[in-house]
Structure 1
């Protein structure tokens, strides 16, 4: 197997795919969370301010999802084919919700009628909530395993994806994004809306801590295989420790009104939690709960070595450009939201 600085191409691409999806979770996570809070704002000005807080960045954030899907298809085509065919209905629902969320943002302020704006406000908030939940449902199924047959194809019923554990992870994901989004809105708003968000973020923290605690306990009891690698290599416990410390630091920073630092630790929390997931699964990408021998791994589901080598060169060039563009956009639109005639 070809290597780069002693690490196999397949491992590198596993890291690339994981990093891209982590970037998506961090970036689109806060605007999905902001959308989940949307109906908690009762007046038109507050809702418009919340929309304009994510206005310059939401569509760019979704690009990371496209890149992640492309990276998965390029590096692990069998995983891409199995996962999307298995979750065809959930993924189609996900795409419909993304479309409705986008048109809700764009159409809401096109007409002055109250019923028109209320309709799109409801569609925007509902789609944001359901997108967060569906992302968690997909993650929950990946964690617990899927019925994969000896031909490495899905061997089950899509309705089984909406199982209790997957829904539990979905709710936990929603709670995490709502906390992430609330912190972001605190950074972007002022006046009464700022004060309201300082109250909402405390509610979001409680919601997340409770749902995260329940989900973690359930996982340790019913899916002990996910902790096997940590038991075998105790040094890896540093990653979940960083995740727990980052989460614990968020309410402390909120109480000290250091909202920028709180947002940074919220990003770190999301990233480290996903790193924990990657460690739990590696080198498996999709576990077969029928027979572990049928699992899709970085070895039996990857593209050819030549393809992976070429893709790594492309990623090495393209990824810094995407990061630079994202950084530029956030830097350009930093600070509190200022409404003008071009605002949503």
Structure 2
């Protein structure tokens, strides 16, 4: 296997880690409106991800940075062609981070309500847009012979991309509901488990349609295996959620996300961005890669730093593993 193929796999792993981790905290952000009944319950939900949400975003920075270094042509075409949706995602992530930090700085109800709205919308919008972006990347976009994006925003708005956006939105919200059930106690835990059951059914219908569409359009044997794993894991997550086994349900919902991302990348390979104008103009893992020397240096750095990052994040989740409920929120916490 060539180094550019190795880095294609590593970037797929980085995006998988990002969607697994950021997926549930996007879901928690959406649930601040769908699940929480008052300010105290919203505070409980926010506190479940308070110690980890910023660490989860490290995976996005690493995935984007690795793409820039390992596949500069892929990075350039992706970030120029998808400039507007990626800019909206970036703005949402900035506003969302500010909202987490500023919500509790003042006690006025309007102040906190406005920041809570920001958390909701700045979680919902990226959750939808990431699915649309990756769907378009797999489907193919207008790329010219010079490796540059040759289309416009309307080329990114199509039924397949919209369905992909709905899949990630519902899947992340389901993932977040299972996480909320895993991390809370009392009535909010029961309602989170009940809501996760309903969300899971909607997610299953949308995901089945999207993944089958992907398989029929550009899939192969590997992507078919990933599709089957995703479906079985989602069904297992629903079953475990119904039985009150939140840990198993959360793990299986994570497997669903990982398998779905794997299917997209397997459908994509050896391309990294197919051209809808001419297959010969598609960006591939080979023609979009950096020099072998650059990839070699990156491999050594990744081999040293990746275990450190994984160990640190695992330690963080272990330290903040306790469940919380409304009884843990002081009366004056707002």
C-alpha RMSD over aligned residues: 1.6
* Structure-1 residue corresponding to 2:249: 262
Matched-pair contact (CA < 8 Å) for 2:16–2:257:
yes
State the shift of 1:11 in Å.
0.7
Distance 2:87 2:100 in 1: 20
Distance 2:45 2:210 in 1: 30
State the shift of 1:273 in Å.
1.2
Matched-pair contact (CA < 8 Å) for 1:52–1:343:
no
* Structure-1 residue corresponding to 2:33: 39
Q: Deviations over 1:289-336 (max 9, x none)?
A: 111111100110000000001101111111111111110000010020
Unaligned runs of 5+ in 2: none
> Is 1:212 aligned to 2:199, yes or no?
no
> Is 1:251 aligned to 2:238, yes or no?
yes
TM-score between both structures, scaled by the size of structure 2: 0.95
> Is 1:300 aligned to 2:287, yes or no?
yes
State the shift of 1:159 in Å.
3.4
Matched-pair contact (CA < 8 Å) for 2:226–2:259:
yes
Evaluate the alpha carbon distance shift between residue 236 and residue 100 of structure 1 in structure 2; reply closer, same or farther with a 3 A threshold. closer
Matched-pair contact (CA < 8 Å) for 1:9–1:309:
yes
* Structure-1 residue corresponding to 2:262: 275
State the shift of 1:214 in Å.
2.9
* Structure-2 residue corresponding to 1:29: 23
Q: Deviations over 1:165-192 (max 9, x none)?
A: 2111001100100110000000111111
State the shift of 1:211 in Å.
1.4
Q: Deviations over 1:83-119 (max 9, x none)?
A: 1011111111111111111111111111111111111
Distance 2:288 2:303 in 1: 22
* Structure-1 residue corresponding to 2:89: 94
Distance 1:36 1:74 in 2: 33
SS at match of 1:79: helix
Unaligned runs of 5+ in 1: 1-6
Structure 1 window deviating more from structure 2 (211-220 vs 190-199): it is 211-220
Distance 2:226 2:6 in 1: 19
Distance 1:101 1:51 in 2: 12
SS at match of 2:201: helix
Distance 2:292 2:81 in 1: 26
Distance 1:327 1:141 in 2: 33
> Is 1:313 aligned to 2:300, yes or no?
yes
> Is 1:120 aligned to 2:115, yes or no?
yes
Q: Of 70, 89, 94, which aligns to 2:65? A: 70
State the shift of 1:218 in Å.
4.0
Aligned residues: 330
* Structure-1 residue corresponding to 2:136: 141
* Structure-2 residue corresponding to 1:203: 198
* Structure-2 residue corresponding to 1:325: 312
> Is 1:12 aligned to 2:29, yes or no?
no
TM-score between both structures, scaled by the size of structure 1: 0.92
State the shift of 1:18 in Å.
0.7
Distance 2:197 2:239 in 1: 11
Alignment of 1:144-183 (within 5 A): 144-183=139-178
Matched-pair contact (CA < 8 Å) for 1:28–1:62:
yes
State the shift of 1:252 in Å.
1.1
Evaluate the alpha carbon distance shift between residue 160 and residue 147 of structure 1 in structure 2; reply closer, same or farther with a 3 A threshold. same
SS at match of 2:57: helix
Matched-pair contact (CA < 8 Å) for 1:187–1:335:
no
* Structure-2 residue corresponding to 1:226: 218
SS at match of 1:108: helix
State the shift of 1:343 in Å.
6.9
Distance 2:264 2:213 in 1: 15
